[in-house]
Amino acid sequence: MIEMYKLYQIKVKLSKFKTIDYTGKLVKAILIQANDKMEEVFESEKYPSPKPIRITPIYKDNQPIYSKVIVKKFGKDKKPDFSPKEIEINGEYTFYVGIKQELYIELQKTLTKLMSGIDFDYGSYRVSAKITAFEEKEPTINENFHTLKIKFNSPSIFRDPFTRIASIERKTTEKRFLPFPPFIFSVNVYEINREIYKRNIIRLAYSLVESHNNLNTVMKVWYYYDGDWLPGIIGYAKFYLKKDLPPFVIKNLIQIFKHAQIMGVGTGRAAGFGFAEIETI
């Protein structure tokens, strides 16, 4: 099942410009400008949620670049009431693209075009973009593990799995923010094995015990998207695998974690959210 998915690390050189937009939107624009078929993937209802593609913001020195306000301490907090400062983009950056098998050919066409370089309008700027390097990244899950560490690199927002389990038909817009394994991995479970969705959601709940420090190591972030400050979570969380679990349960968990490494966690992955490093120790 996991062989149907691939993750690419892409380095791109960008000309000088300024933006306040979430830079996942920039990555999306680059891919669409290099291959107009990608617009259908991102925008068309032909590709219902979850999308067969995930992207990330651009990275510099292993840090995601986007307008943000980080809330490090518990206490009173409110949405920022100011506009973000413009971010200057200039030079070489990295981003990641995860795809399902059906998009292999279109992504290869996109990367081939970007090797030659493209020019496109972005806001009030004329931007050039050219790939300098790319490589496929393999899942790196240690299958004999007792500790799971999840680092939320880009803002993460989770879908509520219990709405689906309870067979509630109405569409809900509420998101979940608690770093609870059934919330974190609910989309991954649905995408790779929806036939046993309920069973795997329950397995995530009883198999992984949270560290008592998680509420200190997971932080809230306000990110700026489409003219508004919105909440997400960043930081990291640790969980411990219960002892004496059946091997088939551990096998299912490993498949979920590998999928999350490639395709991200939570909602909005095709917009650049939910990029997480998954480490098993």
DSSP assignment of 164-175: HHTT--S-----
Bond before 50 cis per omega within 30 degrees? yes
CA angle, residues 36, 127, 106, in degrees to nearest 5:
25
On whether the CB atoms of residues 200 and 188 are closer than 8 A, the answer is no
Look over the chain and give the mean of its residue pLDDT values, rounded to a whole number.
95
Residue type (1 letter), 50: P
35/31 Cα distance (integer angstroms):
6
DSSP 8-state symbol, 87: E
Percent of the chain having pLDDT more than 90? Answer: 88
Distance CA 32, CA 27 (A): 9
Nearest CA to 98 out of 183, 23, 186, 27 is that of 27
CA distance 217 to 151: 10
State the pTM of this model: 0.95
143 vs 26: CA distance, rounded Å: 36
What is the pLDDT confidence band of residue 164, given thresholds at 50, 70 and 90? confident
Q: How confident is the model at residue 104 (pLDDT cuts 50, 70, 90)?
A: very high
Checking 240-249 for CB contacts under 8 A at 24+ apart, the result is 240/146, 240/147, 240/148, 240/208, 240/209, 240/211, 241/145, 241/146, 241/147, 241/148, 241/207, 241/208, 242/206, 242/207, 242/208, 242/209, 245/207, 249/203, 249/207
Q: At 244, is the secondary structure helix, strand, or coil?
A: coil
pLDDT at 170 over 60: no
152 strand-pairing partners: 235, 276
Cα 178 to Cα 129: distance, rounded to the nearest angstrom: 37
Tell me the chain's radius of gyration from C-alpha atoms.
Answer: 19
> In angstroms, rounded to a whole number, what is the distance separating the alpha carbons of residues 127 and 16?
7
Q: What is the mean pLDDT of residues 50-77?
A: 93
- E strand intervals along 101-217: 118-122, 125-137, 147-156, 208-210
Name the DSSP class of 269.
G
Residues 65-92 have pLDDT tens digits of 999 999 988 777 899 999 999 999 999 9
pLDDT over 70 percentage in the chain: 98
Phi-psi region of 21 (alpha: psi -120 to 50; beta: other; left: phi over 0): beta
Range scoring the smallest mean pLDDT among 37-46, 85-94, 171-180, 262-271? 171-180
Cα–Cα distance between 99 and 239 in angstroms, integer? 27
- At 264 the pLDDT is 98
